[in-house]
């Protein structure tokens, strides 16, 4: 969470989109910036329970594949409406899975079974596999850029995370005319992420403030 926010702060200087794949070192759960901790702690036994810099609902991180996208204000994606941005990122995920011979669909309507939990029911434009939601995303648009944080529940136990990551990179490259290059984190970004981790995201006072 800290690194994503540090990358967002740096977006105007980077002047290019960044795609980051990451994993969780232990079972955990994250929840939306505007959600109330007291209401969510009863919904999951996963700990730590961490407030994201983006909105959205409660997401379990015990077996999912996570990614983030960061866009500077100068990028066309930054100017999209939130609904358009959400639909676009899941359309790209749909195409990525199609390249792996896995048919998915975008939800055309809402089926909300439980308030506050990302993967219980689904929203319009969520990604579904056999009627079940397998991908959700949350967004945060600020003056310094747009941050999208996404979670994918592996649709099949035989599918490899590395194959999905390569498929998504290739799909975005083709559909968005992006020539991906490996991004080496500058020391200043690493230091800022460390500050945010120590002073913000690891602190109960921040995570439980609502």
Give tens-digit pLDDT for 166-182.
999 999 999 998 899 99
Catalytic residue among 11, 118, 125, 147: 118
Contact between 110 and 26 (Cβ < 8 Å): no
- Band the pLDDT of 121: cuts 50, 70, 90: confident
Query: Count of CB atoms within 10 A of residue 66's CB?
Result: 17
Spell 150-169 as b/e; 16+ CB within 10 A means b.
bbbbebeeebeeeebeebbe
Domain spans of the chain, in order of start: 2-204
Instruction: Say whether pLDDT at 198 is over 90.
Output: yes
Contact between 32 and 55 (Cβ < 8 Å): yes
Please give the Cα distance from 161 to 185 (Å, whole number). Answer: 23
User: What pLDDT, on a 0 to 100 scale, did the predictor assign at position 114?
Assistant: 61
Question: Taking the CA atoms of the chain, what radius of gyration do you get in angstroms?
Answer: 17
Question: Is 118 tagged catalytic?
Answer: yes
Residues in the chain: 210
Does CATH place domain 2-204 in 3.30.930.10? yes
Instruction: Say whether pLDDT at 113 is over 70.
Output: no
- Band the pLDDT of 115: cuts 50, 70, 90: low
């Amino acid at each position: 969470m800290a690194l994503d926010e540090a990358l967002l702060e740096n977006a105007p200087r980077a002047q290019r989109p960044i795609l980051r794949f990451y994993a969780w070192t232990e079972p955990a759960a994250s929840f939306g910036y505007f959600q109330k901790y007291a209401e969510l702690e009863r919904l999951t036994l996963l700990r730590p329970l961490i407030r994201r810099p983006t909105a959205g609902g409660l997401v379990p991180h015990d077996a999912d594949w996570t990614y983030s996208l960061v866009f500077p204000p100068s990028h066309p994606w930054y100017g999209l409406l939130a609904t358009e941005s959400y639909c676009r990122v899941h359309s790209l995920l749909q195409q990525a899975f199609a390249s792996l011979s896995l048919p998915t669909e975008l939800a055309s309507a809402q089926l909300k079974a439980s308030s506050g939990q990302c993967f219980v029911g689904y929203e319009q434009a969520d990604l579904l596999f056999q009627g079940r939601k397998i991908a959700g995303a949350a967004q945060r648009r600020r003056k310094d850029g747009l941050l999208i944080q996404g979670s994918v529940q592996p649709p099949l136990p035989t599918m490899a995370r590395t194959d999905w990551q390569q498929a998504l990179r290739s799909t975005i490259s083709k559909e968005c005319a992006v020539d991906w290059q490996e991004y080496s984190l500058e020391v200043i970004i690493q230091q800022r992420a460390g500050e945010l981790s120590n002073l913000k995201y690891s602190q109960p006072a921040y995570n439980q403030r609502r």
